[in-house]
Protein backbone atom coordinates (compact mmCIF):
# COMPACT_ATOMS: atom_id res chain seq x y z
CA UNK A 1 0.00 0.00 0.00
CA UNK A 2 1.43 3.38 -0.99
CA UNK A 3 1.89 5.91 1.77
CA UNK A 4 1.89 8.99 -0.45
CA UNK A 5 -1.16 10.42 -2.14
CA UNK A 6 -1.27 10.38 -5.90
CA UNK A 7 -2.06 13.72 -7.56
CA UNK A 8 -5.62 12.47 -8.12
CA UNK A 9 -6.03 11.74 -4.42
CA UNK A 10 -4.63 15.16 -3.47
CA UNK A 11 -7.19 16.80 -5.72
CA UNK A 12 -10.04 14.78 -4.22
CA UNK A 13 -8.93 15.59 -0.66
CA UNK A 14 -8.66 19.30 -1.44
CA UNK A 15 -12.09 19.31 -3.10
CA UNK A 16 -13.58 17.59 -0.06
CA UNK A 17 -11.90 20.08 2.28
CA UNK A 18 -13.33 23.03 0.34
CA UNK A 19 -16.81 21.48 0.20
CA UNK A 20 -16.71 21.08 3.99
CA UNK A 21 -15.58 24.70 4.33
CA UNK A 22 -18.61 25.86 2.33
CA UNK A 23 -21.04 23.58 4.17
CA UNK A 24 -19.78 24.86 7.54
CA UNK A 25 -20.16 28.43 6.27
CA UNK A 26 -23.78 27.72 5.28
CA UNK A 27 -24.48 26.35 8.77
CA UNK A 28 -22.99 29.47 10.36
CA UNK A 29 -25.32 31.67 8.31
CA UNK A 30 -28.41 29.54 8.91
CA UNK A 31 -27.68 29.43 12.64
CA UNK A 32 -26.99 33.21 12.75
CA UNK A 33 -23.42 32.71 13.96
CA UNK A 34 -22.40 35.83 12.09
CA UNK A 35 -19.23 36.62 14.04
CA UNK A 36 -17.89 33.14 13.26
CA UNK A 37 -18.89 33.71 9.64
CA UNK A 38 -17.01 37.04 9.55
CA UNK A 39 -13.87 35.25 10.74
CA UNK A 40 -13.94 33.28 7.47
CA UNK A 41 -12.99 36.44 5.54
CA UNK A 42 -9.59 38.05 5.03
CA UNK A 43 -9.10 41.62 6.20
CA UNK A 44 -8.82 42.74 2.55
CA UNK A 45 -11.92 40.87 1.32
CA UNK A 46 -13.98 42.17 -1.58
CA UNK A 47 -17.63 41.00 -1.43
CA UNK A 48 -19.43 42.02 -4.60
CA UNK A 49 -22.77 41.26 -6.27
CA UNK A 50 -23.42 43.05 -9.58
CA UNK A 51 -26.80 44.00 -10.93
CA UNK A 52 -28.08 41.81 -13.76
CA UNK A 53 -30.02 42.95 -16.80
CA UNK A 54 -32.04 41.15 -19.43
CA UNK A 55 -30.06 41.73 -22.60
CA UNK A 56 -30.13 40.44 -26.15
CA UNK A 57 -27.72 37.65 -26.99
CA UNK A 58 -25.38 39.96 -28.91
CA UNK A 59 -25.02 42.10 -25.77
CA UNK A 60 -24.25 39.32 -23.28
CA UNK A 61 -21.12 41.19 -22.18
CA UNK A 62 -23.48 43.80 -20.66
CA UNK A 63 -25.59 41.32 -18.69
CA UNK A 64 -23.88 42.16 -15.37
CA UNK A 65 -22.89 45.58 -14.08
CA UNK A 66 -19.16 46.30 -14.17
CA UNK A 67 -17.18 46.32 -10.95
CA UNK A 68 -15.92 49.75 -9.99
CA UNK A 69 -17.89 51.39 -12.83
CA UNK A 70 -21.60 50.62 -12.44
CA UNK A 71 -23.94 50.16 -9.50
CA UNK A 72 -24.12 46.82 -7.72
CA UNK A 73 -26.53 45.11 -5.34
CA UNK A 74 -23.65 44.63 -2.91
CA UNK A 75 -20.14 46.11 -2.91
CA UNK A 76 -18.53 45.58 0.49
CA UNK A 77 -15.32 45.06 2.35
CA UNK A 78 -14.57 43.62 5.79
CA UNK A 79 -15.49 46.87 7.53
CA UNK A 80 -18.95 47.12 5.96
CA UNK A 81 -19.65 43.40 6.41
CA UNK A 82 -18.75 43.85 10.09
CA UNK A 83 -21.12 46.83 10.35
CA UNK A 84 -23.96 44.76 8.88
CA UNK A 85 -23.31 41.96 11.37
CA UNK A 86 -23.18 44.43 14.27
CA UNK A 87 -26.48 45.98 13.17
CA UNK A 88 -28.16 42.55 13.06
CA UNK A 89 -26.78 41.79 16.55
CA UNK A 90 -28.61 44.79 18.04
CA UNK A 91 -31.95 43.03 17.69
CA UNK A 92 -33.52 46.23 16.37
CA UNK A 93 -32.91 45.71 12.68
CA UNK A 94 -36.34 46.41 11.13
CA UNK A 95 -35.85 43.93 8.27
CA UNK A 96 -34.95 41.13 10.68
CA UNK A 97 -37.43 41.67 13.51
CA UNK A 98 -38.80 39.10 13.78
CA UNK A 99 -35.85 37.27 12.32
CA UNK A 100 -35.87 35.28 9.12
CA UNK A 101 -35.59 31.53 8.94
CA UNK A 102 -33.05 30.61 6.30
CA UNK A 103 -31.50 27.66 4.54
CA UNK A 104 -28.37 28.07 2.44
CA UNK A 105 -27.82 25.20 0.01
CA UNK A 106 -24.42 24.98 -1.70
CA UNK A 107 -23.74 22.68 -4.64
CA UNK A 108 -21.56 22.16 -7.74
CA UNK A 109 -18.41 23.13 -5.84
CA UNK A 110 -15.43 23.20 -8.19
CA UNK A 111 -11.82 24.25 -7.79
CA UNK A 112 -10.69 26.10 -10.91
CA UNK A 113 -7.18 27.11 -9.95
CA UNK A 114 -4.66 26.22 -7.25
CA UNK A 115 -1.67 28.35 -6.42
CA UNK A 116 1.20 28.05 -6.18
CA UNK A 117 0.82 24.25 -6.57
CA UNK A 118 -1.34 21.32 -5.57
CA UNK A 119 1.43 20.24 -3.19
CA UNK A 120 1.33 23.66 -1.50
CA UNK A 121 -2.15 25.15 -2.00
CA UNK A 122 -2.24 28.67 -0.58
CA UNK A 123 -4.77 30.31 -2.86
CA UNK A 124 -7.69 28.77 -4.72
CA UNK A 125 -10.21 30.02 -7.23
CA UNK A 126 -13.53 28.23 -6.81
CA UNK A 127 -17.02 28.28 -8.24
CA UNK A 128 -20.24 26.97 -6.78
CA UNK A 129 -24.00 27.32 -7.03
CA UNK A 130 -26.33 28.39 -4.25
CA UNK A 131 -29.99 28.32 -3.38
CA UNK A 132 -31.11 30.39 -0.41
CA UNK A 133 -34.58 29.93 1.04
CA UNK A 134 -35.80 32.68 3.36
CA UNK A 135 -39.08 32.77 5.28
CA UNK A 136 -40.16 35.65 7.46
CA UNK A 137 -43.46 36.52 9.09
CA UNK A 138 -46.44 34.56 7.81
CA UNK A 139 -46.23 35.28 4.10
CA UNK A 140 -42.74 36.50 3.19
CA UNK A 141 -40.89 33.85 1.22
CA UNK A 142 -37.80 34.55 -0.86
CA UNK A 143 -35.82 32.15 -3.00
CA UNK A 144 -32.46 33.40 -4.24
CA UNK A 145 -30.56 31.31 -6.75
CA UNK A 146 -27.22 31.93 -8.38
CA UNK A 147 -23.53 31.32 -8.71
CA UNK A 148 -20.51 32.33 -6.66
CA UNK A 149 -16.92 32.75 -7.66
CA UNK A 150 -14.48 32.91 -4.75
CA UNK A 151 -10.80 33.35 -4.15
CA UNK A 152 -9.83 31.46 -1.02
CA UNK A 153 -6.54 32.17 0.71
CA UNK A 154 -4.88 30.07 3.39
CA UNK A 155 -4.03 32.21 6.43
CA UNK A 156 -2.58 30.69 9.59
CA UNK A 157 -3.52 27.22 8.36
CA UNK A 158 -7.19 28.14 7.71
CA UNK A 159 -9.03 28.91 4.48
CA UNK A 160 -10.39 32.45 4.28
CA UNK A 161 -12.47 34.16 1.59
CA UNK A 162 -10.38 36.91 -0.01
CA UNK A 163 -12.87 37.69 -2.77
CA UNK A 164 -16.48 36.71 -3.40
CA UNK A 165 -18.45 37.51 -6.52
CA UNK A 166 -22.15 36.67 -6.36
CA UNK A 167 -24.22 36.36 -9.53
CA UNK A 168 -27.98 36.12 -9.03
CA UNK A 169 -30.04 34.34 -11.66
CA UNK A 170 -32.80 36.92 -11.39
CA UNK A 171 -32.66 40.55 -12.43
CA UNK A 172 -35.62 41.71 -10.34
CA UNK A 173 -35.48 41.05 -6.62
CA UNK A 174 -38.91 40.30 -5.27
CA UNK A 175 -37.60 40.47 -1.68
CA UNK A 176 -38.63 43.40 0.47
CA UNK A 177 -35.03 43.80 1.58
CA UNK A 178 -31.58 42.38 0.97
CA UNK A 179 -30.24 41.46 4.41
CA UNK A 180 -29.15 38.00 3.24
CA UNK A 181 -25.50 37.01 3.28
CA UNK A 182 -24.44 34.81 0.36
Domain count for the chain: 1
Closest CA to 142 of 107, 106, 170, 108: 170
Closest CA to 109 of 154, 148, 163, 164: 148
pLDDT of 6 higher than 60:
no
Asked if residue 178 is part of any domain, the answer here is: no
- The β-bridge partners of 52 are 64
pLDDT of 21 higher than 90:
yes
| 110 within 8 A of 126, measured Cβ to Cβ | yes
Q: How confident is the model at residue 1 (pLDDT cuts 50, 70, 90)?
A: very low
| 60 within 8 A of 178, measured Cβ to Cβ | no
- Across the chain, what does the average pLDDT equal? 87
Q: Which residues have a Cβ under 8 Å from the Cβ of 48 and sit 6 or more positions away?
A: 67, 72, 74, 75, 76, 163, 164, 165, 166
For residue 91, what are the domain limits? 7-168
Most confident of 4-8, 95-99, 163-167: 163-167
Of 17-31, 75-89, 120-134, 164-178, which gets the smallest average pLDDT? 164-178
Alpha-helical segments (H) within the chain: 7-30, 34-38, 78-89
Residue 156 belongs to a domain with what CATH number? 3.10.450.50
The pTM score is 0.86
Asked if residue 177 is part of any domain, the answer here is: no
pLDDT of 116 higher than 50:
yes
Q: What confidence score (pLDDT) does residue 2 get? A: 43
Asked if residue 174 is part of any domain, the answer here is: no
Q: What confidence score (pLDDT) does residue 40 get? A: 98
Amino acid sequence: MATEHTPGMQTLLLEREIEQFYYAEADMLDERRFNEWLALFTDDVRYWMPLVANVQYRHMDKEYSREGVDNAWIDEDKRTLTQRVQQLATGIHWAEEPRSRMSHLITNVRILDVGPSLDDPRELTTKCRFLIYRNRMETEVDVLVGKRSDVLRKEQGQWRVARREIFLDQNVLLSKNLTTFF
